[in-house]
Structure 1
Amino acid sequence: MAQLINFDRSLQRLQFIFRYCGLTFKSKKLTPIYKLKIRCVYLLNFFWLNSDVLGGICWFIDGIQTGKTFVQLTYIAPCVSFTFLADLKAIFLIHYEDYVCELIENLRELEKNYETENVNIGYNETVVKDNRRGQYVKFLHSVLTISNILSVVLILTFIVSPLILMALKYYQTEEVELMLPFLIIYPFDSHDIRYWPFVYLHQFWSVSVVLLNICAADYLLYICCTYLGVQFRMLQHNIENVVEKKSVLLEHELEELQKKYCQLIKWHQELIRLANMLGFIYAESTLFNFVSSSILICLTGFNVMAMENVAFAVSFLVFLSASLLQIYMICFFGDFLMTSSTEVSDAVYHSKWYYLNVKTGKNLLILQTRAQKPCKLTAFGFADVNLNAFMSILRNAWSYFALLKTVYAPQEY
C-alpha cells in the first residue's frame, strides 16, 4: 500500500498545475458539469495566451516590413516557438484525455498490487521493501522541485527585467519610459498609462500559462516513465529470484514455478502495453518538441550573445537553461524507460532457468527475446527519445548557432 501512496503523492504535485491549465487526468471520473468547468478554464487560458501570440506574430511581420534588425526579430521568435509548443502539449493531452486516465489507473493498479503479488509469489519481505524504489521516487520528486524553481525564476526574470530597466532609466534621466516584457502589437497603444498595467498583467499571465502547460505535460511524462521503469526493474528482480538455490526440483515445485513465471510474463505484457500507450499519447507533441528545440536553443543562445542590454540577456540566459533542461529531462526519462525495459532480457539470462522444465524454459526464451526490443517513446516514429537524441539536438543547435555567428558578425549586432 505504501507504493500506492508514493504514486498518488507524485500525482498530487500535478493537481495544482492541471487545475489552472484546465486539464485533467481523471476524465472518466468527472461529472459533465465539472468537466465543463475545466474546459472553460482551458479555453480562457487558450484565448488569453494566443491573443498575445497573434500580436507577437504581427509584430514580427511588421518588423520585417519596417526593416528591424535580426536581433530584434529573434527576440520574439523563441518566445513564439515556446508558446506553440505549450499549446500543442496541452491540446494533445486533451485529445488523448481518456488514454491518460486509463494509463494512470492501470499504473496505480500495478503499484497497488505489487506488494500483494510478491506475497502471493512467496518472496522475501525485503524484496517488497526494496530501497531502490524509494530512490527512484525521491529522484523524481527532486527533478519536479528543481523544474518548479527554474520555472518561477524564468517567469520572474522576464517580468522583472522591464521594471529594472524602467528604474534605471528613471534614475539616469528622471523620465518614466514604460516598457513591457515582450514585443507585441495591440489594437491600442499598450504604452499608454491607462492600458499599460493591464497589458503588463496580461503578458505576465500569458508567460505563466505557457510554463504551466509545458510543466503539466512534461511532469506527467516524467512520472509515468519513472513508475514504468521502476516496475520493469522490480520485474527483473523477481525473475532473477523466483528459483531458490537448489540443484533438484520436484515435480510439484516445477509446476508451481511455471505458474509464477506465467504471472511474471503477464506482468511484462502489461508493462509493454502501458509503455506503448504512453508513447502513443506523446508521439506528436514530442516530434514538434524535437524539431523546435534545436532552433529554439540556437536563437536563444544567439540572443544571449548578441543583446547589449544585460537585463534582457540574463532573461534569455535563464530561458536557454530552461529550454535545455526541458528537452534533456524528456530524453533522460525516455532513456530510463528504454534501458529498464531491455534489462529484463538480462534478468532472464541471470535467472536459474536451467533448473526449470522444457515448457517453462521455452516461455522464458520468448520473454527474453521480446525484452530485447525496447519499450520506448518516439517522436512520432522519426526518432527515439533517449540521450542520443538529446546529443543530436545539441549538435544541430550548435551548427545553427555557428552559422548565425558567422553570418552576423559582432559589429552588425
Structure 2
Amino acid sequence: MFAIVVSSQFYCVWLCIAVLTAYDFVYVTCCIHVILQLRLLKHNIKDALDKYEENPKQRLCCYIRHHQFLYSVFHRMRNIFSVMLLFHYLVTLGSSCFVLLQLVLRDMDAVSYASQIITIIFFIVQFGLYTFPAEGVAFEFLDVPNAIYISKWYRNKVEIQKLVLYVMMKSQQQQYFSGAGLIDINVETFDSVLRKAISFCAVFKNVLNN
C-alpha cells in the first residue's frame, strides 16, 4: 500500500510538472506570436501609408482584415486562459502570504529558510510569465494608432484616411487578459500581488504583537 501511495505521488508530481510546463509554454508562445504579428502589422501599415501609391486601398484592406483576425485570436485566448489566470492569481497571492508569514513568524534553519525563499520566487516568477506577456499584447494593440499617426496618412485620399481611422478607433479600446472577468491580468496586477502579500504580513504581525 505504501508503495502504491508513493508511486501515485510521483506520478501526480510529474504529471503536474508536464501539464504546467506545456500550458505555460503554449500561453507564452501564443502571446509572443501575437506581439510579433502586431509589430509586423504596424510596420506594414506605416509603410503602405508612407509610400505614395495611386490606390493603396487593397493593401490596407488586407492589413485591416489581419488586424481583425489578431483581435479574434486575442479574444479566443482570453476566453481559453481566463479561469487559469484567475487560478494562478489566487494561488500566487495565497502562497505568497503563507510563505511570507512563515518567514516572519517561525524560526528556521538555513535550509528551511532557503527552501521557502525558492518557493516564493517560483510562484512569483510563474505569475510573471502570465502578466508580462499579457501586458505586451495589450501594449502592442494600443500602439497601432501611434504607428498610424506618425505615418504620412495625410498624403492619402479621404477614403484611405477613413480606413485607417477605423483601425485607430478599434485599437483605442484597451483590453487585457482577465481572470474569469474579475481582474485584469497585467503588470499592475503583478505589482498588486506583491504589495498585498507584504501588507497582509505586516498587518498580521502587528495584530500578533498587539
Q: 1:354 aligns with which of 154, 160, 163?
A: 154
Q: 1:404 aligns with which of 198, 204, 209?
A: 204
Structure 1 Cα separation of the partners of residues 10 and 112 of structure 2: 16
Per-residue CA shift, 1:199-243, capped at 9, x if unaligned? 555434433333332222222111101100110111111111114
Q: 2:94 aligns with which of 278, 295, 299?
A: 295
Structure 1 Cα separation of the partners of residues 187 and 71 of structure 2: 21
In the other structure, the counterpart of 2:42 is: 236
Structure 1 runs (4+) deviating above 6 angstroms are none
Report whether the alignment pairs 1:261 with 2:67. Answer: no
Structure 2 Cα separation of the partners of residues 244 and 348 of structure 1: 10
Assess if the C-alpha contact under 8 Å between 1:304 and 1:314 holds in 2.
Answer: no
Unaligned residue ranges in structure 2 (runs of 5+)? none
Assess if the C-alpha contact under 8 Å between 2:49 and 2:152 holds in 1.
Answer: yes
Structure 2 Cα separation of the partners of residues 219 and 366 of structure 1: 34
In the other structure, the counterpart of 2:16 is: 210
Question: What letter corresponds to residue 297 of structure 1 in structure 2?
Answer: S
Change (3 A) 1:404 1:198: farther
How many positions carry a matched residue from both structures? Answer: 208
Assess if the C-alpha contact under 8 Å between 2:100 and 2:198 holds in 1.
Answer: no
Change (3 A) 1:401 1:347: same
Per-residue CA shift, 1:56-113, capped at 9, x if unaligned? xxxxxxxxxxxxxxxxxxxxxxxxxxxxxxxxxxxxxxxxxxxxxxxxxxxxxxxxxx
Question: What letter corresponds to residue 65 of structure 2 in structure 1?
Answer: K
In the other structure, the counterpart of 1:20 is: none
Change (3 A) 1:302 1:200: farther
Assess if the C-alpha contact under 8 Å between 1:275 and 1:376 holds in 2.
Answer: no
In the other structure, the counterpart of 1:327 is: 127
Identity %: 25
Per-residue CA shift, 1:18-55, capped at 9, x if unaligned? xxxxxxxxxxxxxxxxxxxxxxxxxxxxxxxxxxxxxx
Change (3 A) 1:205 1:319: farther
Structure 2 Cα separation of the partners of residues 212 and 307 of structure 1: 34
Assess if the C-alpha contact under 8 Å between 1:342 and 1:371 holds in 2.
Answer: yes
CA RMSD of aligned residues (A): 2.1
Give me the TM-score of the superposition, normalised by structure 1.
Answer: 0.47
Secondary structure at the aligned position of 1:378 is classed as strand
Per-residue CA shift, 1:268-313, capped at 9, x if unaligned? 0000000010000011121222223212111022234425244333
Assess if the C-alpha contact under 8 Å between 1:254 and 1:357 holds in 2.
Answer: no
Change (3 A) 1:300 1:201: farther
Report whether the alignment pairs 1:380 with 2:184. Answer: no
Higher-Rg member (1/2): 1
Report whether the alignment pairs 1:284 with 2:83. Answer: yes
Give me the TM-score of the superposition, normalised by structure 2.
Answer: 0.89
> What pairs up with 1:3-402 in 2 under 5 angstroms?
195=2, 199-244=5-50, 253-255=53-55, 257-305=56-104, 306-402=106-202
Unaligned residue ranges in structure 1 (runs of 5+)? 1-187, 189-194
Work out which structure has the larger RCO, using CA pairs closer than 8 Å and 6 or more positions apart in sequence: 2
Question: What letter corresponds to residue 35 of structure 2 in structure 1?
Answer: G
Change (3 A) 1:212 1:307: farther
